[in-house]
Each structure stands twice: as structure tokens, then as C-alpha cells.
């Protein structure tokens, strides 16, 4: 239990004004929730929160802290082994209420009920959702992002971009509003992403980035339309096995995924090419290829490598990645359920 502090009160993390905002409430700090938050760490928080009879949680941080808080909130009152919430998708009917103060625009966790947790000892990275794990409120102040390292800004832009693509780039269902929103968010990211790296203290850029990342995964653009999420599932296995950042795995998998499934996604890829990247010249196949290339170039412009070899990973781990996907039941992914382990293998191979 050396990774965190749990004390009352502390001024280690918060400024005076933020502490004052807590008023007369009794409060404690649990710090040390890591990127790709682990079951091991979070269960320490659960034990202490139970011991202190905590009745409200406030997540101050990025998606990992908010996802971790959702799990703590769900596990505190869970009857049984809390890992079952993830491994067996055991229903969560009761959770301690929580809010969030977002400091890292990326995951959208501040306005949804999803959470992704890793079990380091098992090499697993799994997700859960529940109707009772929405934040009661979230505070989004773009100035809290000024001090973020460039790598976290770049990762946030890529993660938000891929969240939108997972809900947009499937097949047409005449959902004009969802498509229009998604395309607007994608175009915004192509504009503000590089600006956010170049001008860390530009309020307007950071505000637009923060709001885009939230809207990318708050349910709005995904309502009533087919969704994919295969890129995320394949990416999670890379993080679990090799420890790469979440967004790095997405930057690796997405271009390969679109390449392997370009026929199934043909109509939407053409729409994406025209409306997001303004690609209107050439044959259909040339436009699709150009759109996939533009996606890869954008990620690389954000300084995020798009191939496994960029992270010194070869094809030798593909068998393990496929075995883990299969173990986790990820054998019919994508909007048509057509991403079998064989298709996933092709994606990983293209991504090398």
C-alpha cells in the first residue's frame, strides 16, 4: 500500500480554492491510480473506502481515474468477487454516487457509464458498463489541461478520434444527424489536435478539444446507429500484453482494421473520405486508400506511431494476442460480428 496516500486533509493535490469548494465536508484522498487502472490498486481503494464509510467519490484526473472511480463505486457495495463485474459481466445494480473533475481530454468517461480496468497479474484488460455508473456531474475546465505533457494530449486526440470512428465508420443507416455530428467532431480534431500540441496555452484550442473528446463518447453520436469497437478490443490486448498506451494501440490497429475490412466498410469509407478529408478525386478504391492513409498520417502528425514495429514489437506476439482475444470471448467483433480470430490475425499482421 505504498502507492497512495489516504489522509485528511491534504493539500498535496488541490489548490486552496479547490479545497475551499469542499466546504465543511470530511474528505480523504486516495492517489496512485495509474494509467490503465488496475484491479490491484483499485481494490486497495475499495477496502479503505469501505473502512471509512465513504458515501461520495470525486474523481480528479483523466479517464483512468474516472474509470477507476466507477469501478470503486461499483465494487464497494458489490456482493461477491468484484472482478466478476468485468470477467463475468456480473450486473452492477448499486454504486456509490460520484462526480468528476476532468483534467485530461480523451476518453469521454466524464459523461458516460463505461469503465475499462486491467488485472495486471492476469494480463487482462476488460470493460463494464452499468446504469448506476454515470457521474452525477463533471467539471470541465480547459485550463487544467495546460500543463499536460504533449504525449498525453496526442494520446487524447487519437483516442477521441477513434471513439468517433468506432461509432461512425460502419455502414450507412441514413442517420444524418449522427453522421453530421461525427464528421464535425472528426474535422474539429484534425484542426485542433496539431494546434493543441503547438500552442499548449491556447484556451480556445483546449476548450474545443475538451468538448470534442466528451461528445465523442457520451452516447450522442452512437445513439441508434451500428457500432464497431473491434479496434478497441484488439488494442486492449496489446496494452495488456505489451503495456503500450491505449491511444498508441488504437493508432496501430485502426489503419490496419480499415485496410482489412475496407469492402465491408466501403460506403462509409467513401463518405468519410469526402466529408472529413475532402478527398473527391480518383476511383473509389483510390479514395478509400487515400482516406486510410490520411488517417495514418494524422496520427503520425500527432507524434503517435502507427505500426507495431514503431514500438519494437514484431509479429511474434500475434499468437498470444489472438489467444487472449479468444479467451475473452472476442470472437465475433465489429458491426456485423464478422471479425473472427482469423480476421483479427490479419489485422495484427497488417499492423506489424
CB of 159 to Zn ion, least distance (A): 4
Q: Closest CB to Zn ion belongs to which residue? A: 159
Beta-carbon contacts of 118 under 8 Å, excluding residues fewer than 6 positions away, are 36, 37, 38, 39, 124, 125, 126, 239, 240
The distance of closest approach from Cβ of residue 238 to Zn ion in the complex, given in angstroms and rounded to an integer, is 13
Q: For Zn ion, which stretch binds (CB under 5 A), given 29-37, 126-134, 154-162, 207-215? A: 154-162
110 binds Zn ion per the rule CB under 5 A: no
Which residue lies nearer to Zn ion by CB, 166 or 179? Answer: 166
Instruction: Outline where DSSP puts E strands in 21-95.
Output: 57-61
Nearer to Zn ion, 163 or 287 (CB): 163
Q: Does 159 bind Zn ion (CB under 5 A)?
A: yes
Strand partners, 16: none
Least separation in angstroms between CB 106 and Zn ion: 8
Q: How far apart are CA 216 and CA 89, in angstroms?
A: 24
Of 125 and 287, CB closest to Zn ion = 125
Contact pattern for Zn ion over residues 185 through 224, marking x by CB under 5 A: ----------------------------------------
Q: How many residues bind Zn ion (CB under 5 A)?
A: 1
CA quadruple 192, 186, 177, 280: dihedral positive or negative? Answer: positive
With CB under 5 A as the contact rule, which of the stretches 38-46, 143-151, 155-163, 313-321 interacts with Zn ion? 155-163
- Is position 228 an interface residue for Zn ion (rule: CB under 5 A)? no
Nearest CB to Zn ion, comparing residues 41 and 249? 249
Closest approach of Zn ion to the CB of residue 301, in Å? 19
Query: CA 26 → CA 7, 57, 153, 200, 342, distances in Å?
Result: 11, 12, 34, 35, 54
Can you tell me which residue has the cell 511474434? 316
Least Cβ distance, residue 160 to Zn ion (angstroms): 8
Pick between residue 212 and residue 289 the one whose CB is nearest to Zn ion. 212
Identify which of residues 30 and 168 has a Cβ nearer to Zn ion in the complex. Answer: 168
- Measure CA 113 to chain center: 12
Pair type for strands 114-119 and 98-102: unpaired
CB of 71 to Zn ion, least distance (A): 16
Closer to Zn ion at the Cβ: 67 or 179?
Answer: 67
Using the minimum distance from each CB to Zn ion, give the nearer residue, 124 or 159.
159
> Considering the complex, what minimum distance in angstroms separates the CB of residue 232 from Zn ion?
6
Query: Could you tell me which residues are beta bridge partners of residue 127?
Result: 116
Choices 44-52, 86-94, 152-160, 317-325; region in contact with Zn ion by CB under 5 A? 152-160
Q: Which is nearer to Zn ion, 142 or 235 (CB)?
A: 235
Q: Grid coordinates standing for 294?
A: 490520411
Q: Give Dmax over CA atoms of the chain in angstroms.
A: 66
Q: Residue 38 and residue 121: Cα distance in Å, rounded? A: 9
Give the H or E element holding residue 324: helix 318-327
Could you please report the per-residue DSSP string of 96-165? --EEEEE-S-SS-GGGSSEEEEEEGGGTEEEEEE-TT-S-S-EEE-GGGGTT--HHHHHHHHHHHHHHHH
Binding-site ranges for Zn ion (CB under 5 A): 159
Amino acid at each position: 500500500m505504498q502507492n497512495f496516500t489516504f489522509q485528511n486533509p491534504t493539500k498535496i493535490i488541490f489548490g486552496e480554492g479547490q479545497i475551499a469548494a469542499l466546504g465543511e465536508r470530511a474528505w480523504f484522498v486516495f492517489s496512485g491510480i495509474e494509467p490503465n487502472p488496475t484491479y490491484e490498486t483499485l481494490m486497495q481503494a475499495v477496502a479503505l473506502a469501505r473502512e471509512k464509510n465513504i458515501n461520495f467519490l470525486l474523481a480528479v484526473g483523466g479517464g483512468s481515474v474516472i474509470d477507476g472511480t466507477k469501478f470503486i463505486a461499483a465494487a464497494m457495495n458489490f456482493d461477491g468477487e468484484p472482478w466478476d463485474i468485468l470477467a463475468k459481466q456480473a450486473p452492477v445494480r448499486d454504486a456509490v454516487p460520484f462526480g468528476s473533475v476532468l483534467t485530461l481530454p480523451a476518453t469521454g468517461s466524464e459523461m458516460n457509464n463505461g469503465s475499462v480496468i486491467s488485472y495486471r497479474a492476469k494480463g487482462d484488460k476488460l470493460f463494464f458498463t452499468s446504469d448506476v455508473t454515470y457521474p452525477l456531474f463533471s467539471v470541465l475546465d480547459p485550463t487544467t489541461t495546460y500543463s499536460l505533457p504533449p504525449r498525453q494530449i496526442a494520446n487524447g486526440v487519437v483516442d477521441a478520434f477513434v471513439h468517433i470512428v468506432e461509432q461512425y465508420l460502419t455502414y450507412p443507416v441514413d442517420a444524418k444527424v449522427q453522421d453530421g455530428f461525427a464528421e464535425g467532431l472528426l474535422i474539429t480534431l484534425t484542426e485542433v489536435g496539431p494546434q493543441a500540441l503547438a500552442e499548449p496555452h491556447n484556451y480556445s484550442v483546449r476548450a474545443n478539444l475538451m468538448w470534442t473528446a466528451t461528445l465523442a463518447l457520451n452516447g450522442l453520436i452512437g445513439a441508434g446507429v451500428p457500432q464497431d469497437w473491434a479496434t478497441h478490443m484488439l488494442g486492449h490486448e496489446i496494452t495488456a500484453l505489451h503495456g503500450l498506451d491505449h491511444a498508441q494501440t488504437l493508432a496501430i490497429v485502426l489503419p490496419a482494421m480499415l485496410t482489412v475490412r475496407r469492402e465491408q466498410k466501403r460506403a462509409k469509407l467513401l463518405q468519410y473520405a469526402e466529408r472529413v478529408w475532402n478527398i473527391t478525386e480518383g476511383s473509389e478504391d483510390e479514395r478509400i486508400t487515400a482516406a486510410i492513409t490520411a488517417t495514418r498520417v494524422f496520427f503520425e502528425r500527432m507524434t503517435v506511431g502507427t505500426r507495431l514495429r514503431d514500438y519494437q514489437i514484431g509479429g511474434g506476439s500475434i499468437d498470444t494476442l489472438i489467444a487472449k482475444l479468444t479467451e475473452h470471448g472476442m470472437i465475433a467483433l465489429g458491426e456485423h460480428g464478422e471479425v473472427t480470430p482469423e480476421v483479427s490475425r490479419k489485422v495484427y499482421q497488417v499492423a506489424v
